[in-house]
Amino acid sequence: MKNNLKALIEIHFAVFLFGLSGLIGKLISLPPMLIVLGRTGFASLALLIILKISGNIRFNINKNHLFLISATGVLLAFHWFCFFYAIHISTVAIGLLTFSSFPLFVTFLEPLAFKEKLKLQDVLLAGLVVIGLILVVPAYDLSNQITLGVIWGILSGFTFAILSLLNRSFTKQYPALQITFLQNCSAALVLLPTVFFLEFNFQIQDYFLIPILGIFCTALSFGLFVKSLKILSAKTIGLIMSLEPLYGILLAIWIIKEIPSGKTIMGGIIILGAVSIESFLQNRKL
């Protein structure tokens, strides 16, 4: 019982940190590309320490798989760029809610990738997510910043869906923390040259927020997430993960007074409701 309670506290804290990343991305003054560079760089260092402490520092990964895993780091970098850019040009709520659309893409990509049967209930729930996204869009006008934020947020969800499916194959053979470390290292190396091409000025808060984003909101949160997998059911973890946008939106309301519109709230309720039901149904059989 004590182990279950501890694991529940840890997974809630991990999800809270995941949600906090949206707010931190809004508060950092740097371009999204450099935010991702900072996040992946500090996450790589922190994950290396975690791997050392946990005794998983030795990598026994096939060379071909090592190349493929490193290549997915480029996809990770693009995913996070889309996420932070969506938040940068719109709001924390828009970025988090549209990113939460990724189960919609998983629903249709998973049967293609793993030759699984597409279920009617999944299609219906995906339709609910689409309805929620339609409500979130304020106007069908590409000059509208919120609309552009929705598009980039959906792209963030799409790329995360692809990354999740790829990682599903990798994690069957190798430790999840090692895969995450390699992907973050690869993402940081790919983005490193951007410091020579982008104009930027560090603000005082950036020196604190970027390490927090990489160390706590990425490395620590993922470490707690992986640890909880050993104790809690997939159903419980899936449902708690659905709280990520809620935590982030509430933090944005409290700290920067960024209050979502009525349509955004309604669309968000539909999206999160569909995601929660999907998580419950998918994991009930596990």
Over the stretch 218-271, which tens digit does the pLDDT of each residue have?
Answer: 999 988 888 787 777 666 776 788 889 999 999 999 999 999 988 899 999 998
253 is in which domain, residue-wise? 2-284
Share of the chain above pLDDT 70, in %: 94
Q: What burial class does residue 53 get, using C-beta atoms within 10 Å of its C-beta: 0-12 exposed, 13-18 middle, 19+ buried?
A: exposed
> Which of left, alpha, beta for 55 (phi over 0: left; psi -120 to 50: alpha)?
left
Q: Is the pLDDT of residue 285 over 60?
A: no
Q: Is the dihedral of CA 161, 105, 226, 84 positive or negative?
A: positive
Express each pLDDT in 164-201 by its tens digit.
Answer: 888 878 888 888 889 999 999 999 999 999 998 888 88
Rounded Cα gap, residues 105 and 79, in angstroms: 14
pLDDT tens-digit map of 132-160: 888 888 877 788 899 999 999 999 999 99
Q: Which long-range contacts (CB under 8 A, 24 or more apart) does 132-135 make?
A: 132/97, 132/101, 132/267, 132/268, 132/269, 132/270, 132/271, 132/274, 133/98, 133/101, 133/267, 133/271, 134/267, 135/263, 135/264, 135/266, 135/267, 135/270
The pLDDT assigned to 4 comes to 74
Per-residue pLDDT at 281: 66
| Closest to 83 in 3D by CA, of 102, 64, 111, 60 | 102
Rounded distance, CA 129 to CA 33, Å?
A: 28
Residue 89, both tokens: 């040009």
Q: What is the mean pLDDT of residues 23-40?
A: 95
Nearest Cα to Cα of residue 46 among 171, 167, 181? 181
Q: Are 132 and 100 within 8 A, CB to CB?
A: no
Instruction: Give Dmax over CA atoms of the chain in angstroms.
Output: 54
Cα-only R_g, the chain: 18
CB of 279 within 8 A of CB of 239?
Answer: yes
Q: What is the pLDDT of residue 121?
A: 81
Tokens 């069908």: give the residue. Answer: 140
Q: For residue 215, what is the DSSP state?
A: I
Binned at pLDDT 50, 70 and 90, residue 275 comes out as confident
Of the listed ranges 46-50, 54-58, 242-246, the one predicted with least confidence: 54-58
**DSSP label of 117:** P
| Whole-number Å distance between alpha carbons of 147 and 283 | 33
pLDDT computed for residue 47 by the predictor: 94
CA distances, 210 to each of 86, 176, 181, 195 (Å): 18, 23, 17, 15
- pLDDT beyond 90 at 86: yes
Place of tokens 């996040």: 39
Residue from 31, 28, 69, 70 nearest 194 by CA: 31
- pLDDT given for residue 235 in this prediction: 63
The neighbour count for residue 187, using CB atoms within 10 Å, is: 28
Q: Mean of the per-residue pLDDT values for the chain?
A: 87
Q: Quote the CA–CA distance of 125 and 271 in Å, as a whole number.
A: 9
H or E element in which residue 41 lies: helix 32-54
The pLDDT > 90 percentage for the chain reads 46
Look at the chain and report how many structural domains it folds into.
Answer: 1
